[in-house]
Chains A and B, each alone.
Chain A
Amino acid sequence: MTREIRPETGSPERHLSPQELERFTECVLPYLDAAHNLAHYLLRDPYEAEDAVQEAFLRAIRHFDGFRGVDGRAWLLSIVRNACFTQLRRRRSGGDKVEFDEEMHSLEKEESEPEADLSSTIAAESVREALSQLAVEFREVMVLRELEGLSYKEIAQVAGVPMGTVMSRLARGRKQLLVALRAGAKEND
């Protein structure tokens, strides 16, 4: 279920009117930090993240006439995530070609796996490590939910998937994190 991304082929220069720049500054620019945070977690490379964000902003500027809504954050983040996934595909085309498969790994097996007991505090480092090991599609929804506090509807808009998919990815992402944290805790015993 990969979403098609239109390639940017030297599209004609789009100029913003001064009024549009004002609106852009008001509705889109404030989410630069959110954009960068998302790109950082998706790409896991600070330089690629910065380049992807700048690329995404250029697209946002070019297509600002297509921005009708009031939710500049979801609009911008969806452009950012598309830029990041394009970059990830570029990376993969050089090496392994593993595409994300929603049904990969049997759900039942996953569900029966034991979870970490979080009654004691979890080490921050283990949590970060566990998140970085998630498939990017799970990492994406986790970051949008836990760090950006987006609703399922907004996440669906950003990721370009139905709300039901958002729900199942979040549930499975959490499950996988809990399983990974338990495995990590056992290793340290």
Chain B
Amino acid sequence: MVCRDVMDRLSPFLDDELDPVASREVSRHLESCADCAAAFDRRRRLSESLRRDLEYHRASDLLRARVVRDARAAVGEGARSRRAAPSWRWLSVAAAVVAVVGGTWWVTTLPREHADDLTAREVVSGHIRSLMANHLTDVASTDQHTVKPWFAGKLDFSPPVTDFAAAGYPLVGGRLDYLQGHPVAALVYLHHQHVINVFVWPAATALERFTRATTHQGFHVIHATHAGMAYWVVSDLNAEELASFARMFAAPPAKPS
């Protein structure tokens, strides 16, 4: 094989795509020809550099959630039209604007808020953070049997994790968050375009509670306690749907809500 032929085959040789005969010939030539060997070396180094230096752009949690939702929406007869409504980036832009405007308001009205309101605000901030920081889930899984064990060892309680996909609220994952000075479980659900965060931690009271939706910074917040757990459910989903979702969560159908 002459230099010209070898030069033509350096790339497939590097990729191990030559047939064994050609591969042997190129190999033999490279041992004795400094020019071709140098050209091959440049390609090998280039390849190494590409593999090392190019960023691998993984899908964001939100994109994963969108895709999972689309796939699930395609199952069964109940599947409604699932064309993407407004793009999700507007949701985060809106959230950012609300965060800035809402933040100012917080400072000026803080003294008048009582405990629940303060918690609700913290919950909303947690929700916004989860949307903005591209950190919706630490464990992205639609499988409750994956999400629940994930929390074990990270929290000193075990949050109940249920997938409500059948009702149109698929679980998309879980996350550790920090509220009220404690690590808490954040469960992430989707309903159409809306992300729902459910923050869970042990309740301070044994009383069963279920508050009406309050609005903070444009997000709806529902608080419930059930079976020793406190739930804070937050989303930009409308209050009625959020309430029916929260009822599934905090008060299973077996019990009157």
**Measuring CB to CB, which residues of chain A are less than 8 angstroms from any residue of chain B?**
13-18, 20-21, 24-25, 29, 32-33, 35-37, 40-41, 46-47, 49-51, 53-54, 57-58, 61-62, 111, 115-118, 121-122, 124, 127-128, 131, 142-143, 145-147, 151-152, 167, 170-171, 174, 177-178, 181
Contact of A33 with B59 at beta-carbon distance under 8 Å, contacts A15-B77, A47-B89, A116-B42 already known: yes
- Indicate if the CB atoms of B75 and A15 lie closer than 8 Å: yes
Most chain B beta-carbon neighbours within 10 Å: one of A18, A49, A54 = A54
22 A-B pairs with CB atoms under 8 Å apart are A16-B74, A18-B75, A24-B71, A25-B71, A33-B56, A33-B58, A35-B59, A36-B57, A37-B57, A50-B60, A50-B62, A54-B70, A57-B71, A118-B41, A118-B42, A118-B45, A121-B49, A147-B56, A171-B8, A171-B12, A174-B43, A178-B46
CB distance from B195 to the nearest CB of A (A): 15
Given contacts A21-B75, A32-B64, 14 further A-B contacts (CB under 8 A): A13-B79, A33-B58, A36-B60, A37-B57, A57-B70, A61-B70, A61-B71, A118-B41, A118-B42, A122-B49, A128-B53, A146-B47, A152-B12, A170-B12
When distances are taken between beta carbons in the complex, the residues of chain A under 8 Å from B76 are: 15, 18
> Contact at B79–A32, with CB atoms within 8 Å?
no
Q: Cβ of A53: which chain B residues have Cβ within 8 Å of it?
A: 59, 63, 67
Indicate the size class of the contact surface on chain B: 35 or more
Contact with A along B195-216 (1 / 0, CB 8 A): 0000000000000000000000
Chain A residue with Cβ nearest B45: A118
**A57 and B51 form a contact (CB under 8 A):** no
Q: How far is the CB of B9 from chain A (nearest CB, A)?
A: 9
In whole angstroms, what is the CA distance A33 to B71 when docked?
A: 16
Assembled-state Cα–Cα distance A17/B12 (Å): 42
When C-beta atoms are compared, the residue in chain B nearest to A172 turns out to be B11
List B contacts of A147 (CB < 8 A). 50-51, 54, 56
Closest to A24 in B: B71
Which of chain B's residues 3-37 have a Cβ closer than 8 Å to chain A? 7-8, 10-12, 15, 17
B interface, over-half SS: helix
Whether A50 lies near B63 (C-beta < 8 A) is yes
Are B75 and A152 in touch, CB under 8 angstroms?
A: no
User: Chain A residues near B88 (CB, 8 Å)?
Assistant: 50
Chain B residues positioned under 8 Å from A177 (CB to CB): 46
A131 and B70 in contact, given A32-B64, A115-B39 (Cβ under 8 angstroms) = no
Task: Write the chain B residue with the least CB distance to A40.
Answer: B57
Point out the residues of chain A lying under 8 angstroms from B46, CB to CB: 118, 122, 127, 174, 177-178, 181
Chain B contacts with A in 52-92, Cβ cutoff 8 A: 52-60, 62-64, 66-68, 70-72, 74-77, 79, 81-82, 84, 87-89
Evaluate contact between A124 and B49: CB separation under 8 angstroms: yes
CB <8 Å contact, B10 and A171: yes
A61 vs B12: C-alpha distance in the bound complex, in angstroms? 35
Shortest distance between the CB of B147 and any CB in chain A (Å) = 15
Chain A's closest residue to B143 (CB) is A25
CA distance A111 to B45 in the complex (A): 19
List A contacts of B81 (CB < 8 A): 13
Which residues of chain B are within 8 angstroms of A146 by Cβ–Cβ distance?
Answer: 47, 50-51, 54
Most chain B beta-carbon contacts within 10 A, residue among A127, A146, A147: A146
